């Protein structure tokens, strides 16, 4: 698609010149925006992640996206790749065009509230027009994504009921759920690396809860498999809502609402470059799907899989990866941060401690490869910086955040 902005040059200038002012008050404005929006539209609490709200993560993500878009208000084509990535997330959550004006209205109210007199009528009118232009790009991109998802063989538009046909413990903290559609009809294929959104109504909870889970097996098997890590309570954090409910209460025969597969973190099967997968903890799930797909679709393509886990107790999918590594083109290496006595009796890990560039260079045959990684944010920062230090170019670096997207270059 192409985008054309019919904004008046004066409006464009006004918006661009006020971006830095809004950025300075970015989090204050979005915090106020959410307060106002949720008090006027509590029904939206059915779709927003309450934990992200409480930790301010979503505030930062939305603020950053709006200001980034405003900087490019006269050339919105430039932000299409980012809009597509956010659009995948929005589509999997079931975001609708009619919800955009609600967001816009409350964003402007929040700007007025926070900026006070500095938010002149001129400034507000310019931002209202800019928001409308940005929103129309999102709506158009998302329409294409909804249409694509529905048009696929076995596809669908919103949420569809899936039965848990098998529940398998993969490690001390990760459990897989094998899912088949309740209607018994076909399910769409997906690109390895894509995720689904799971929508849960938890007894006693006022609102539904939606979370994303990567599909962890290869497509084309007649089921979807998600693999969920239990987010246990710690001294300063409550237990994760959805992961614990799935582990403790969702059993074989139960039904879950799923959106169609989404996401643009996918393995490019048209390439023949060597590929390197680097996962930390449950970040293994999208990469495992890629590795399984590679075994079926491109068995001779050279691949290296590095997995980092705390220790053997929480190390999932070891057997699956050992099997994939029976192929000469595929090698598999394990890093344990703090191996247990049991791990030391049967040492099959290649590195103790945290992943670092020296170890990566010792097991990855070439840096002329496509690198895919996923894991906790500090792990991702380490891997990203190591790859940059090694001289891997940006176009060969691919990653996914298991939460609102962040910036790997900043501490």
Binding site for ligand FAD (CB under 6 A): 49, 51, 54-55, 195, 211-214, 227-229, 231, 237-238, 240-244, 263, 282, 285, 400, 402-403
Output the smallest distance, CB 11 to ligand FAD, in A. 34
Output the smallest distance, CB 125 to ligand HEM, in A. 18
Residue with tokens 């074989």, as numbered in its chain = 252
Output the smallest distance, CB 254 to ligand FAD, in A. 17
Contacts of range 40-47, beta carbons closer than 8 Å, 24 or more positions apart: 40/106, 41/102, 44/99, 44/102, 45/206, 45/207, 46/207, 46/208, 46/210, 47/93, 47/94, 47/95, 47/208, 47/210
CA distance 245 to 252: 14
CB 180 within 8 A of CB 207: no
Per-residue string for binding with ligand HEM, 187-206, x by CB under 6 A? --------------------
Pairing, β 209-214 against β 275-280: unpaired
Catalytic-labelled residue, pool 129, 131, 142, 231: 142
**99 forms part of the interface with ligand HEM (CB under 6 A):** yes
Annotated catalytic, 100? yes
| Nearest in space to 66 (alpha carbons), one of 11, 120, 131, 156 | 131
Catalytic-labelled residue, pool 100, 146, 190, 224: 100
**127 forms part of the interface with ligand HEM (CB under 6 A):** no
Query: Which of ligand FAD, ligand HEM, none is residue 138 near (CB under 5 to 8 Å by kind)?
Result: ligand HEM
**60 forms part of the interface with ligand HEM (CB under 6 A):** no
H or E segment and range at residue 176: strand 174-181
Query: Which of ligand HEM, ligand FAD, none is residue 100 near (CB under 5 to 8 Å by kind)?
Result: ligand HEM
CB 37 within 8 A of CB 102: yes
Beta bridge partners of 370: 275
Which residues contact ligand HEM by CB under 6 A?
44, 47-49, 52, 58, 61-62, 65-66, 86, 89-90, 93, 95, 99-100, 103, 134-135, 138, 404-405
Positions marked catalytic: 100, 142
């Amino acid at each position: 698609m192409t985008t054309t902005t019919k904004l008046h040059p004066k409006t464009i200038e006004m918006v661009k010149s006020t971006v830095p002012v809004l950025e300075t008050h970015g989090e204050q404005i979005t915090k106020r925006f959410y307060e106002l929006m949720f008090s006027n539209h509590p029904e939206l609490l059915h779709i927003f992640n309450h934990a992200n709200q409480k930790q301010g993560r979503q505030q930062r993500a939305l603020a950053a996206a709006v200001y980034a878009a405003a900087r490019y208000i006269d050339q919105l084509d430039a932000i299409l790749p980012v809009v597509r990535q956010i659009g995948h997330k929005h589509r999997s959550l079931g975001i609708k065009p009619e919800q955009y004006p609600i967001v816009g209205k409350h964003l402007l109210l929040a700007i007025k509230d926070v900026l006070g007199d500095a938010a002149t009528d001129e400034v507000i009118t310019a931002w209202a027009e800019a928001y409308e232009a940005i929103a129309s790009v999102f709506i158009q991109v998302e329409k294409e994504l909804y249409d694509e998802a529905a048009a696929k063989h076995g596809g669908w538009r919103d949420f569809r009921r899936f039965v848990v046909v098998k529940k398998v413990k993969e490690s001390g903290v990760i459990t897989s759920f094998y899912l088949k559609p309740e209607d018994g009809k076909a399910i769409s294929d997906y690109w390895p690396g894509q995720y689904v959104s799971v929508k849960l109504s938890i007894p006693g909870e006022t609102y539904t809860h939606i979370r994303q889970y990567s599909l962890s097996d290869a497509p084309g098997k007649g089921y979807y498999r998600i693999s969920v890590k239990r987010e246990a309570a710690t001294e300063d954090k409550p237990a994760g809502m959805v992961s614990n409910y799935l582990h403790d209460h969702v059993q074989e025969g139960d039904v879950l609402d799923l959106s169609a597969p989404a996401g643009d973190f996918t393995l490019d099967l048209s390439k023949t470059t060597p590929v390197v997968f680097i996962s930390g903890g449950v970040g293994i799930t999208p990469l495992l799907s890629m590795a399984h797909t590679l075994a079926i679709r491109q068995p001779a393509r050279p691949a290296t899989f590095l997995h980092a886990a705390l220790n053997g107790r929480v190390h999932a999918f070891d057997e699956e990866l050992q099997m994939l590594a029976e192929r000469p083109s595929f090698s598999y290496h394990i890093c344990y941060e703090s191996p247990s006595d049991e791990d030391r009796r049967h040492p099959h890990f290649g590195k103790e401690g945290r992943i670092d560039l020296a170890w990566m260079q010792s097991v990855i045959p070439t840096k002329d490869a496509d690198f895919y990684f996923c894991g906790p944010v500090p792990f991702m920062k380490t891997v990203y910086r190591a790859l940059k230090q090694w001289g891997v170019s940006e176009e060969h670096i691919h990653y996914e955040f298991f939460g609102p997207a962040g910036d790997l270059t900043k501490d």
